[in-house]
Structure 1
Amino acid sequence: MVVLSKIYTKTGDAGETALGNGARVAKHSMRVTAYGTTDEVNATVGLARLQATGEMDTQLSRIQNDLFDIGADLCRPDMEKDAEAEYPPLRVTEDQVLRLEAEIDAMNAALEPLRSFVLPGGSALAAHLHLCRTVARRAERLTVELATMESVNPAAVKYLNRLSDWFFVASRIANDDGRADVLWVPGANR
């Protein structure tokens, strides 16, 4: 259980922060950048939820929780030492990835195939979901970069990859099942 009785600690004043295993690293380290950007995705999901209702809001709520799971996963390096840890570290699972895939498939079943690329926009919810998508792609790129340097849970990378796809398909649902999508017209302004 998390208890936050004091919000500022002053321990980061010199530009370092603590990882989940207690190790201190620079705040600009690749690991901190990866999980910090995942937190940024979560903030954009909070904005999208201001427009969402019903099942879409329920799904976005689950995604927000999963994004905290990813942050907890990424802030804990040395996966090979998980068995030695006093408390088992929280790791994203393949089941979370499979849930996203099932939701994508269910939403996509209601949509006509695209014949053009979609521009971000349409409804307010769709515009917010496109913002979520682009920030999720950045989080994925940074996490993949981290994985070239240090150990990263492959399920976390898969989740971030599927998540941007989820946001894309959800944006089409938010645009009247794709009927209100704003389509790219190549060279329209030449």
Structure 2
Amino acid sequence: MKYFTGSGDSGTSTLYGSAKRLPKSNPVFEVLGSLDELNSYLGICRAHAKGRNIAKTLETVQKDIFIIQAEIGSSKKSPVETITEKKVKELEEHLASLAKELPEIRSFTVPGESILSAHLDYARTLARKAERLAISLKHAPKTPTLSYLNRLSSLLFVMARAANAELNLKEKKPDYT
């Protein structure tokens, strides 16, 4: 199997289902790259979460990100699966299930109480970046996809808190003095 075509050597690429070459500096490729980065980083999180309940949820999210990438990276002529309201609700249910086990929070927390929580917090920032970039596209994805990306950063924050709670680690609040 050949792992390259060489067709992108001139700094252009195509969207799935389109023959039109676009510069790799096109914002759509920035979004796709940020989603790829997020998905890879979620793999790191999942590897650190082996044996924990959140590992399965992280794997589901990774698969959903492929759907989002297909939605964003396909020409309008090529129908692809998209994120549905049902997927958004599933994310909300995972979030609510984890959050109910945690103490209420009224401030930011300083990331890094555990390896897993630090990775999840970093993944959260990557999710927020991907969301901002997706919103900035001229042809932004449909609302359920944007809602999904928005909920994902919240889920990752709650997962980071849950990872600390599982180890009985106390969250630290920022000191603004």
TM-score, normalising length from structure 1? 0.86
| CA displacement 1:59-104 (0-9 Å, x = unmatched) | 11111111111111110243xx5xxx4xx31211111111100110
Match for residue 91 of structure 2 among 93, 100, 109 = 100
Q: Which moved more, 1:68-77 or 1:98-107?
A: 68-77
- What is the rounded CA distance, in whole Å, between the counterparts of 1:180 and 1:25 in structure 2? 49
- What is the rounded CA distance, in whole Å, between the counterparts of 1:46 and 1:145 in structure 2? 26
Match for residue 180 of structure 1 among 145, 162, 170 = 170
- 3-state SS of 1:6 partner: coil
- 3-state SS of 1:120 partner: coil
Does residue 34 of the first structure (1) align with residue 34 of the second (2)?
A: no
| CA displacement 1:164-183 (0-9 Å, x = unmatched) | 00000000000015853222
8 Å CA contact 1:77, 1:152 repeated in 2: no
Aligned length: 174
Does residue 49 of the first structure (1) align with residue 46 of the second (2)?
A: yes
1:74 aligned partner, one-letter code: I
TM-score, normalising length from structure 2? 0.92
| CA displacement 1:149-171 (0-9 Å, x = unmatched) | 12422221111111000000000
Task: Give the superposed CA RMSD.
Answer: 1.5
2:88 aligned partner, one-letter code: V
2:70 aligned partner, one-letter code: A
Does residue 157 of the first structure (1) align with residue 153 of the second (2)?
A: no
Does residue 169 of the first structure (1) align with residue 165 of the second (2)?
A: no
- What is the rounded CA distance, in whole Å, between the counterparts of 2:75 and 2:87 in structure 1? 20
| CA displacement 1:92-145 (0-9 Å, x = unmatched) | 111111110011011110111113211111110000000100011000000000
5+ long unaligned stretches in structure 1: none
1:64 aligned partner, one-letter code: Q
- What is the rounded CA distance, in whole Å, between the counterparts of 1:166 and 1:61 in structure 2? 13
- What is the rounded CA distance, in whole Å, between the counterparts of 2:48 and 2:115 in structure 1? 7
- What is the rounded CA distance, in whole Å, between the counterparts of 1:154 and 1:6 in structure 2? 37
5+ long unaligned stretches in structure 2: none
List structure 1 runs of 4+ shifted beyond 4 angstroms: none
8 Å CA contact 2:110, 2:172 repeated in 1: yes
- What is the rounded CA distance, in whole Å, between the counterparts of 2:31 and 2:68 in structure 1? 10
8 Å CA contact 2:17, 2:74 repeated in 1: yes
